[in-house]
Amino acid sequence: MTAGTKTLTLLRHAKSGWDDPALRDYDRGLNAKGKRAAALIGGHLRNAAGVFDHVVASPAVRVVETLEQVESSYGRTLAPHFDRRIYLASAVTLLDIIHEAPAEAVHLLLVGHNPGLEDLAMLLVPDSDEPLRVALEAKYPTATIAEISFAGEWATLAGGSGRLTRFVRPRDLDPTLGPDED
């Protein structure tokens, strides 16, 4: 990794359950498929992503449970900073949160929700016909990670300045976890 290169990993929460109509959206937990997918992604991150310097996440129950499952397979403590602004945030709000990341952090993990995460990834990565960008544009399923690298500082990250280096869906690691993921 060259000096000044930062890596942003975006993780959409895993598949949640809708079986209790009395629950607020914020309070919905993961279903069994979501737990499996999150644990699988955690194992993938352990092998592929290295160590996260800073983790920021929505405090919604499905995000907290996603992180618990990811952490169990990741093998390291993630110690997220929970930020309520991430819950149902727009891409612009998410970018504001990234701008606040500690300058010394090199690898940031942001865990949240769609459509904000997908919109943020689309904003940061220039439009192209590269296979990863095409896959991102097609659909950003639950428990999917998008890894974006860029040169510069968190405080100056801007639209079109990133390069999509990884886009991994749970079904890429285990076909039984797709294609009905959403």
pLDDT tens string 24-72: 999 999 999 999 999 999 999 998 867 899 999 999 999 999 999 999 9
Q: What is the pLDDT of residue 52?
A: 94
Instruction: List, for residues 103-148, the tens digit of each pLDDT value.
Output: 999 999 999 999 999 999 999 999 999 999 999 999 999 999 999 9
Question: Looking at residues 86-95, what average pLDDT do you find?
Answer: 97
**The pLDDT value given to residue 155:** 96
Bridge partners of 11?
111, 145
Cis status of the peptide bond prior to 175, with omega within 30 of 0 = no
Output the six-digit token pair for 172: 């890429």
Q: Which has the closest alpha carbon to 135: 108, 172, 161?
A: 172
**5-177: CATH number:** 3.40.50.1240
Q: Give the percent of the chain with pLDDT over 90.
A: 86
Express each pLDDT in 143-182 by its tens digit.
999 999 999 999 999 999 999 999 999 999 999 987 654 4
Domain boundaries, the chain: 5-177
Distance from C-alpha of 87 to C-alpha of 146, rounded to nearest angstrom: 18
